[in-house]
């Protein structure tokens, strides 16, 4: 697949990616009624070592009992291969059959390839994808090589997620408003993802009570090219959906582009002139994908109403 082609990539909503501790049954019970696009069921940072087994059992029960998540994508974040928990975590992933497994602290392509091989050996369904946390200095340096594995046969890599808390800890860069000194690394991950047709999710914002600061970070992340944001609290869902979702102006523009190319006069043309604006067929692909997302959002609202 060409890295520049949009046509064959699935259209996914990933505006709001909420992390839910797998050890917390009350939080798990609320998941079906939340209006987030993706839920990450966390077995890693939010679960104490002595509680890992209990958290896995919580997930097994949840996936066995819950039949309707209203179109949400489900991802399980496992522990690193060097922790001693990864093998049991992967057994839980294979039993639960989520949409994806999220790998923490990915340093290089081998981390993705190893898990892809495990999923293939376990005869996991093709739709069970891999997401990668980009949260170490080595991982950011190797972002392009990691993203490239997403184009290899059987690699399953689908999405990169930036983890700034670990990256700040490793580099000593403080948590300052505007993320000035982190911006080059954020953009490096975005560029790597886009080069190989992957989605890319911005890092968490730690103070869920400061919604104004969170919205500012969402606007920055969208301007950087991120598809959505990883969240730590349900209060962040609506602002993330609003800031990473299509605006009324973008929807109207997409509809206008589709209408221009639907005109018989545009048949066979790769570029058309619409009111002094040159519109290419690549804009038509983008417009169709945006309108597909709009329909998905509308369907979700109807299901949750």
**Which residues, given as ranges, of the chain have pLDDT below 70?**
1-9, 302-305
The pLDDT of residue 7: 44
Tokens 């009324």, residue located: 248
Report yes or no: 246 and 293 within 8 Å, Cβ to Cβ: yes
Q: Please, what are the domains in the chain?
A: 16-244 (3.20.20.60), 248-304 (no CATH)
CA distance 140 to 120: 27
Report yes or no: 35 and 238 within 8 Å, Cβ to Cβ: yes
pTM, two decimals, is: 0.91
Query: What phi, psi does 234 have (nearest 5°)?
Result: -55, -25
Q: pLDDT by residue (tens digit) across 215-241?
A: 999 999 999 999 999 999 999 999 999
What are 172's two structure tokens? 């000593």
- 50: number of Cβ within 10 Å: 7
Is 50 within any annotated ligand binding site? no
The pLDDT of residue 68: 83
Is 166 within any annotated ligand binding site? yes
């Amino acid at each position: 697949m060409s890295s520049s082609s949009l046509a064959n990539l699935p259209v996914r909503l990933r505006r709001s990616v909420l992390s839910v501790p797998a050890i917390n049954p009350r939080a798990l019970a609320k998941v079906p009624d939340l209006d987030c696009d993706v839920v990450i069921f966390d077995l890693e940072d939010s679960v104490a070592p002595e509680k890992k087994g209990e958290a896995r059992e919580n997930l097994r029960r949840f996936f066995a009992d819950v039949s309707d998540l209203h179109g949400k994508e489900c991802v399980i974040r496992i522990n690193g291969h060097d922790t001693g928990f990864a093998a049991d975590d992967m057994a839980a992933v294979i039993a639960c059959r989520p949409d994806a497994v999220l790998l923490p602290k990915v340093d290089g392509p081998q981390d993705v390839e190893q898990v892809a091989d495990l999923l293939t050996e376990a005869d996991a369904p093709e739709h069970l994808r891999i997401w990668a946390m980009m949260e170490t200095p080595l991982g950011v340096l190797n972002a392009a090589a990691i993203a490239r594995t997403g184009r290899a046969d059987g690699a399953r890599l689908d999405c990169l997620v930036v983890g700034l808390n670990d990256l700040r800890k490793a580099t000593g860069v403080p948590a300052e408003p505007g993320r000035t000194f982190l911006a080059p690394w954020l953009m490096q991950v975005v560029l790597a993802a886009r080069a190989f047709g992957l989605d890319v999710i911005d890092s968490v914002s730690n103070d869920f009570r400061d919604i104004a600061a969170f919205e500012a970070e969402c606007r920055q992340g969208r301007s950087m090219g991120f598809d959505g944001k990883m969240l730590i609290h349900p209060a962040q869902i609506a602002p993330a959906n609003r800031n990473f979702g299509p605006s009324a102006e973008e929807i109207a523009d997409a509809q206008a582009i589709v209408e221009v190319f639907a005109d018989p006069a545009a048949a066979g043309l790769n570029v058309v002139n619409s009111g002094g604006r040159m519109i290419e067929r690549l804009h038509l692909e983008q417009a169709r994908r945006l309108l597909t997302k709009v329909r998905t959002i509308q369907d979700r609202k109807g299901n949750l109403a």
